[in-house]
Amino acid sequence: MHGPARIVLAVSLGLACAANAISAETPEQALTRIELAAEEATVHKDRAVLESTFADDFLGYGCSSDKKASKKDIIDSTMSPDYALLDYHYSPYTVHVYGGTATVQGTVVETSKYKGAVNRNNMSWLDVFVLRDGRWQWVANECAIVPPTHGASAAAAKSLLDTDKGLAAKSHEVGFVAAYSTAVAPDARKFDEGAQPVFGRAAILKLMATYPRDDSFDWVPREAVVADSGELGFTWGQWTATNHDAQGKPTVGTGIYVDVWRRAADGAWQWIEDTGYAFPKPKPVKVQGATQ
């Protein structure tokens, strides 16, 4: 997502009008609750709450643009059918109150969709509120995209490797096709050695349904690498396939596979490309003097 709408994702949108009426709360408690309640208004596109969120003189700056965003800009972007906030995970808020002015600050990892494209970003944000006529009004915002830390990338890589290992283990229980097909993305590609490429989940499942039922395919994931965005990665490892020749005798082949994965909107990993190759089988050794 770009421009003013990015502000919506980096901060908690809106003020809940009823929240300001609870006089027993401290300002810190009220501001924290307002932020949390307003995020739900963003998810559910509650225009009434969003209209009551901002002061008329609100100004903000988005993460991916230096263009100023007004109250109208924010609401129009949030209500757009092109945009949806899918998931968000906040750090604890830091609230400072200076009389009739307050700041609320924190970080968030959010997943959104804009024009069909899923975006996942780690952002820091700062909201400024002013107490006017007994209620807090949101008057300013700043936010910035924070590059993922090595620890975050490492955690994503572990998650992906665990997913691949989990499928390998599941294949021992229900079979390769049944296990592997559970993680195929709708737009996946499959490149079997010696065969034409196959595109799309439906076509891939149709292809896999033709695999002989008495064949087995085991694989051992060795490594996972994930991009800094945390959305795209690959795994590789070694596979072992047991097939049967025309006489019914088992034949064993081994090789290397590489799978490309993408994190779906719900956070689960799905493979979008599968390819690999077989190790050459050892050639028969000729023994000198042996009968041909």
Write out pLDDT tens, residues 183-202: 999 999 999 988 899 999 99
Domain shared by 102 and 166, yes or no: no
pLDDT band at 23 (very low <50, low <70, confident <90, very high): low
Domain shared by 165 and 70, yes or no: no
How far is residue 221's CA from residue 258's CA, in Å, rounded to a whole number? 9
Report, as an integer, the average pLDDT of 159-181.
93
Closest CA to 4 of 79, 57, 56: 79
Which secondary structure element, helix H or strand E, spans residue 95, and what is its range? strand 94-98
- pLDDT of 225 above 90: yes
Average per-residue pLDDT in the chain? 83
* 286 assigned to some structural domain: no
Domain shared by 138 and 179, yes or no: no
How far is residue 39's CA from residue 45's CA, in Å, rounded to a whole number? 10
Domain shared by 170 and 134, yes or no: no
How far is residue 285's CA from residue 100's CA, in Å, rounded to a whole number? 89
State the pLDDT at residue 64: 60
266 by DSSP, 3-state: which? coil
Q: Which amino acid is at 20?
A: N
Q: pLDDT for 106-116, tens place per residue?
A: 988 888 888 88
How far is residue 91's CA from residue 123's CA, in Å, rounded to a whole number? 10
How far is residue 237's CA from residue 192's CA, in Å, rounded to a whole number? 16
Whichever domain contains 178, its CATH number is: 3.10.450.50
pLDDT band at 22 (very low <50, low <70, confident <90, very high): very low
State the pLDDT at residue 6: 41
Least confident of 5-19, 157-171, 245-259: 5-19
Domain shared by 228 and 100, yes or no: no
Least confident of 21-30, 75-84, 266-275: 21-30
Domain shared by 206 and 104, yes or no: no
- pLDDT of 5 above 90: no
Domain shared by 115 and 210, yes or no: no
Percent of the chain at pLDDT exceeding 70: 86
Domain shared by 194 and 64, yes or no: no
State the pLDDT at residue 167: 95
State the pLDDT at residue 246: 73
* 272 assigned to some structural domain: yes
In degrees, rounded to 5, the angle at the alpha carbon of residue 120 between the alpha carbons of residues 112 and 103 is 80
222 by DSSP, 3-state: which? strand
Contact, 49 vs 16, CB < 8 A?
Answer: yes
Least confident of 31-45, 122-136, 264-278: 31-45
Closest CA to 54 of 71, 36, 29: 71
Closest CA to 190 of 178, 177, 207: 207
Which domain, by its residues, includes 244?
Answer: 150-278
